[in-house]
Amino acid sequence: MLSWRVGAVKISCIVEKDEILRVHRFLKGGDQAKMDGLGWLKAPFVDEAGRLNFSVQAFVVETPRRRILVDTCMGNHKPRHGHGAMLATDFLERFEAAGFARDSIDTVLCTHLHYDHVGWNTQRVDGRWVPTFPRARYLMGREEFEHARNDTAEDHGDVFDDSVRPVFDAGLVDLVGAEHQVCDEVSLTPTPGHTLGHVSVRIISEGAEALITGDMAHHPVQMAFPAWHVKSDHDAALSEATRTRVFADAADRGVLLIGSHFYAPTAGRVVRDGEVFRFEA
């Protein structure tokens, strides 16, 4: 299990599922020849056939006082279409074996409310969806929540009904602003585009800083080609502008960038490369 120290904070990564994707299918604008021409983009972020390695994973952020889970992957037994359908992984067993008892999580943070970030908010018990982390407050962006509640466009079944509504109905959800300060070391920062209410998670401790991206970026190749974007980006131009702004800031201030869908080693430094950027992990 990968982990990183940011001052007094420890961040651990628990992978739910790794995948291999073709760039032109996964990213609008994605061009295999252009990608192959990038000298810096190598294994493990691409495989020997030039395909993208990709991960669905969750992060546990441990401060001296708090234990915060950032995003909850796809979950088991969820009625989805495609790669997240009716999973039966050992994610939760591995999560607990890593030392993270479900009851020890005091906060669940959702960067946004897509199916691959809210799945383990709930688990199925006796045919019902119940909160997986019953002692946690679940923090969700107010704007994101209102949009997801009214959104029937997402092509993955009843995500809101099986993974968001049950924790809301249990009284565990706090709707927060896009710059919410969670605790001394952890805050949200708005990174709109993928969804309009999308946030990333900023960790600052003892002069060190990290950012957990959420889906403001999906793969390091987007540092060289910020306009390449997933089909599910709500506003492609805004997501590109957000990427360019966040990568520039990370490069200029030496922020450790932790990519929510970046394959291991997952975290690294963003470096300016002419007009764009590259990733040094």
Instruction: Name which of 116 and 144 has its Cβ closer to Zn ion.
Output: 116
What is the closest distance, in whole angstroms, from the C-beta atom of residue 111 to Zn ion in the complex? Answer: 8
What is the closest distance, in whole angstroms, from the C-beta atom of residue 218 to Zn ion in the complex? Answer: 7
What residues have CB less than 8 Å from 260, skipping those under 6 apart?
57, 59, 70, 71, 111, 117, 212, 213, 214, 215
Residue 232 CB-density burial (10 A; 0-12 exposed, 13-18 middle, 19+ buried): middle
- Interface residues with Zn ion (CB under 5 A) are 116, 215
Instruction: Name which of 110 and 250 has its Cβ closer to Zn ion.
Output: 110
Do the bridges between strand 186-190 and strand 208-212 make them parallel or antiparallel, or are there none, so unpaired? unpaired
Instruction: Name which of 36 and 155 has its Cβ closer to Zn ion.
Output: 155
Q: Could you tell me if 253 and 245 are in contact, meaning their C-beta atoms sit under 8 angstroms apart?
A: no
Closest CA to 200 of 111, 116, 67: 111
Instruction: Name which of 16 and 215 has its Cβ closer to Zn ion.
Output: 215
Instruction: Name which of 166 and 259 has its Cβ closer to Zn ion.
Output: 259
What is the closest distance, in whole angstroms, from the C-beta atom of residue 31 to Zn ion in the complex? Answer: 22
Instruction: Name which of 143 and 233 has its Cβ closer to Zn ion.
Output: 233
What is the closest distance, in whole angstroms, from the C-beta atom of residue 271 to Zn ion in the complex? Answer: 24
What is the closest distance, in whole angstroms, from the C-beta atom of residue 109 to Zn ion in the complex? Answer: 14
Sign of CA dihedral 39, 36, 217, 85: negative
What is the closest distance, in whole angstroms, from the C-beta atom of residue 135 to Zn ion in the complex? Answer: 26
What is the closest distance, in whole angstroms, from the C-beta atom of residue 115 to Zn ion in the complex? Answer: 8
Question: Given strand 186-190, what is the order of strands in its sheet?
Answer: 186-190, 199-205, 208-212, 256-258, 267-273, 276-280
Q: 64: cis peptide before it, omega within 30°? A: no
Q: Could you tell me if 251 and 44 are in contact, meaning their C-beta atoms sit under 8 angstroms apart?
A: no
**Cα separation, 28 vs 122, whole angstroms:** 32
Dihedral angle over CA of 47, 48, 50, 52, nearest 10: -10
What is the closest distance, in whole angstroms, from the C-beta atom of residue 117 to Zn ion in the complex? Answer: 6
Task: Find the helix or strand (DSSP H, E) in which 150 lies.
Answer: helix 142-150
Instruction: Name which of 192 and 251 has its Cβ closer to Zn ion.
Output: 192
Both structure tokens of 55: 């991960």
Instruction: Name which of 63 and 76 has its Cβ closer to Zn ion.
Output: 76
